[in-house]
Structure 1
Amino acid sequence: MNHLLAEFDVGLLLTFDALLKDRNVTHAAARLNITQSALSARLMRLRQLLGDPLFIPSNSGRGMVASPHALALQPELVRLLEQLSDFIGTARVFDPATSKRIFRIAATDNPVSILAPDLIPQLKAAAPLVKVAFTMPDKARIAEALEQGEVDVFIGVAEDAAPGLIARKLFAEEFVTAQRRGHPRGRGPLSLDEFCALDHLLVSTSGGHFSGMIDTALAELGRERRVSVSVQSYALAPLILGSTDLICTLPRRFLQRFAQVLDLVEAPLELAPFEMNLFWHSRMSADAAHAWLRKQMLQSARHGGRPDNAPGVPPGVCDTNTIVRVTTKPPTV
């Protein structure tokens, strides 16, 4: 049986279908856009494989008559062609409203904290049955994980690019300083002297450090600050700030979500923004579901964490500083 299946191709099935519909070699050949001789060769092959003449010239000399065996096969042939059509369409069509696809996004806590609050409601509104898993990336083998389909996309920095990966910029993020509502210093602009004198909370992406990019920028000015608390997760920062007099400098689109409990002010020194990129393997570029996910992530990142009808910048936030340099490394701030 397997060797017979190997002999069949879609062209033979379409030829059989066309002959059943037209009962005429000339018309069937025109339907398939092939020559009459090519169609006759296919018919001969069908007769050999199925062990039946299938179509016999009509006594009237006009067209052909289908054999009983050919007529018996017609319903199954119709179903088979429909299944083949569905099979081909499945690879190219993605319906988010009914899909139960599981999407796996590799990213550290920091970009997830920035993107997920916008991305998840957007995905669930368009595709209520899909599942989304955020996983910690293994940087050493992230290219392999993407190639093997262990994860769908990876959020990382430019240095994470590797052969076979495609990258699109998700966002370039700026920093602001946050403090709890009712902070003893008040809500006015923050001077450099005051910034250096206050206790700071630092988010160390690698964990346990008390110095980061802000300290490097301060050192260039001949200044330093006092970092008394270090955490590894962005998510902890608002909780700690809300119950202490610490201040913390983090991405604006993350902190602005907590504007009801935190005051945001411009840091009194120029800080480089950092870029986050969306990576995927080239083999997934044509996958309809994957393309949909990428589109959703890029759209969500473009909104910047603020809905179209959101109010203006909270009181106490100054205009954006002029940017003088850019970093692509995940910041320790």
Structure 2
Amino acid sequence: MRSGKVLVTGGAGFIGSHFVRQLLAADDIEVTVLDAFTYAGHRENLGELLSCPRLTVVEGNILDGPLVERLIETHTAVVHLAAESHVDRSFFEAGNFVTTNVLGTQILLDAAMRCGIAKFVHVSTDEVYGPLLSGKATEEFPLRPTVPYAASKAASDLIALSYFHTYGVPVCITRSSNNFGPGQHPEKIIPLFVTRLLKGEPVALHGDGGHVRNWLHVQDNCAGLELVLRCGEPGQIYNLGGGTDLTNQELTDRILAKLGAGWDRVRFVEDRRSNDRRYAMDWSKIADLGYRPQRSLDDTLADTIDWYRDNPDRWAPEPRNPAAPIAAVNIENTRG
């Protein structure tokens, strides 16, 4: 897909809003954002983009089949980022994760199939591979999720691939490592630790702090997503890694140093249930398309911290009442 009109689900969320900004930087793309504007999705994430004549914002839910089909039939591609994504929440709301992540994906794929979409990029996570004590997961690695969130994403990956094999829907899947950067909801570890430390509060480190994660700047992930949208081969999976591998203790040490805080601000607590010891992916496949991460955690962590320091009103937005009705079609066209 070289140009056209792209529907981005979850486009007002953390990764989604950065991705919309990435797309609109090119003048050959029009973008429609479909977002339910729950606790993690905000128009403020789109900021100045709301005045762009090539952006349309639609408030709605991916579970709303008629709305989804009306939107997809006027677009050439879908990039599907809308998801329940927080591991801890999935322990207590597993049903919501399965409904949104699995059924929501299937509803989108059904509409894409009927409308003859040119490209469908399904955005997933390295957590579907489960823990690896050594080595790296390639795209052919077995899926071994250990928590409801990761299981719901693995299931949605398989549903997406089945629509390629059965119906010919031109699906590509991306699986990225942990994203970080400005605008992330404070339920995730980097903004959680930063905002708590800025408020003078202690932070809690689970277990011995030796769990290993790869940290990829959100803009590098978005560059990879755009590359897959434009050049990815339907039916293929692409791991998006290449960030910085750190234990949680090493990550905490870097955050403390940037904020001039000491380890007396850290409390070691009982480990989280099913806390996978290590994630690691081989990303040579996407590298063959020209993908090269440009930003390291050490180079960009200070900028991320500065964003939270400058935006205290965004530290803990009030969640929207999930029982509140969502308008079936509430379109805010930024053309005015």
TM norm structure 2: 0.27
TM norm structure 1: 0.27
Of structures 1 and 2, the larger Rg is shown by 1
